[in-house]
Amino acid sequence: MDRRTEEDRGLVERMRAGDEGAFGILLNRYQRPVINFLYRMLGSAEDAHDAAQEVFVRVYRGANRFAYRTARDRFSTWLFQVARNVAIDHLRRRRPEEPLDSASPADLARAVAPGTPATDAAAREIGDRIAAAVAELPEDQRTALVLAEYHDLPNGEIANVMRCSVKSVESRLYRAKRFLRKQLRHLLES
């Protein structure tokens, strides 16, 4: 078990015992990755921040229901399961006329290409096209892709987050990448 996993376990136990400081540490540690995940799932900075608040409320209230069943279980896996469920709930509540990629092109470019100078119009255009293509993916493929490519989670942990088999994750990643290659082939040929 790595050091971060051990620390998280101790913080979860302290949080269960009513230590709000432990929750604050977990919040500070995971707030940015959760917001980034939700942003890529929902396509809106405002929705991502709203959803992140909901995620951490659910985590705080549900801490006693979270159980470490094996030594390899991680708090972060459970946290991303909660975040995925909240994202799905938000997508279901979204009005049909509200497009998935309702964020501004500049916001989307920053989401897929962090650190790109705002003045680089070509990078913004590429970021816009990638974000739009990712937004077209079905939720399960988008989730697998975002967790793999943006959060560097291994397929086994993605399977735990998505509550499916590793083979299913591999299939979803394959289909997502195949779709993106097709949608973005003009960028690859440049």
Q: Per the structure, how many domains does the chain have?
A: 1
pLDDT for position 123: 64
Residues 139, 120: Cα–Cα separation, whole Å: 30
Q: How many CB atoms lie within 10 A of CB 93?
A: 8
Residue 176 lies in a domain: no
Residue 110 lies in a domain: no
pLDDT for position 107: 47
Residue 179 lies in a domain: no
Residue 171 lies in a domain: no
Q: What is the pLDDT of residues 114-144, one digit of tens each?
A: 454 444 566 667 777 788 888 889 999 999 9
Q: Is the pTM of this model over 0.85?
A: no
Residue-range definition of the domain harbouring residue 84: 1-103
Q: What is the pLDDT of residues 22-71, one digit of tens each?
A: 999 999 999 999 999 999 899 888 999 999 999 999 998 888 888 777 76
pLDDT for position 1: 66
CATH code, domain carrying 68: 1.10.1740.10
Residue 84 lies in a domain: yes
pLDDT for position 28: 95
